[in-house]
Amino acid sequence: MNNEFKNDRKQWLFVFLVGLFVTNAVTAELISNKLISIPLSFSLNGLNVGPFTTIVGILPWPIVFIITDLMNEFYGGKAVRRVSWITAILIAYCFIIVGLSMQIPAVEIPGSNLSDTASYNKVFGQAQMVIVGSITAFLVSQLLDAFIFQYIKSKTGDKFIWLRSTGSTLFSQLIDSYIVLYIGFVLPGSLTFAEFMKIAPTNYVLKIVIALALTPVIYLGHYLVKKYLNKKEIKESI
């Protein structure tokens, strides 16, 4: 049994990464209908940046960034694309189940908020355009991330981990930051275009800050995976 597990370490690691990836992606989408303020500000070439207004769904995304990088590095762009499509389908499935649950009348218990239909629907109910925007942004950004990562890697080989990791994130999240807010909030009229042009850039800058801050963590992740897998397993495709 131990030998079997040892021989399947790369598969076990892949299953774990995919599970963690899906969990964080679905969680991010479920909580993305809330705008928050992050009291972080700094000056860049005389330009004051921040504080940031963004969607609360940004909180789980650092984990998604790291996992995307590790899957890109050790399993290839094809694996990332497949996982991205599967995750988008699962996100849609999750929203369908949540939508159905909102249509089922709750048993009202006097003096208890456990069966408060209005509160339940307020927490879990999202505009359909927010859902469409979230899924579209997720899928486009992930596919773009995989493409850019593999392109940079094909040019630099195994060197410059930070470049392919951060570079792919910067491009993909530029698209994500604008798509999700425009489709989810501007088209339904929840945000004006002027508000969108204020929130989207700051949202993107925040993601840049997060991506840069994660660089040491990404190197740590690469180190731990290489320690866990042997050289033969690292070179094998899954």
Q: What is the pLDDT of residues 27-81, one digit of tens each?
A: 887 877 677 777 777 676 666 666 767 777 778 888 888 899 999 988 988 999 9
* Domain annotation covers residue 130: yes
- Say how many domains are in the chain: 1
Contacts 24+ apart (CB under 8 A), 31-35: 31/56, 31/57, 31/59, 32/56, 32/57, 32/126, 32/130, 32/134, 32/180, 32/184, 33/126, 33/127, 33/130, 35/199
The answer to whether 159 and 73 have CB atoms below 8 angstroms apart is: no
* Domain annotation covers residue 96: yes
DSSP letter (8 states) at residue 4: H
* Domain annotation covers residue 47: no
pTM comes to 0.78
* Domain annotation covers residue 41: no
Residue 184's domain is classified under what CATH number? 1.10.1760
* Domain annotation covers residue 226: yes
* Domain annotation covers residue 40: no
* Domain annotation covers residue 180: yes
* Domain annotation covers residue 42: no
- The pLDDT value recorded for residue 82 is 93
188 vs 128: CA distance, rounded Å: 9
Q: What is the pLDDT of residues 5-22, one digit of tens each?
A: 455 888 889 999 999 999
Residues of the domain holding 71: 2-35+54-235
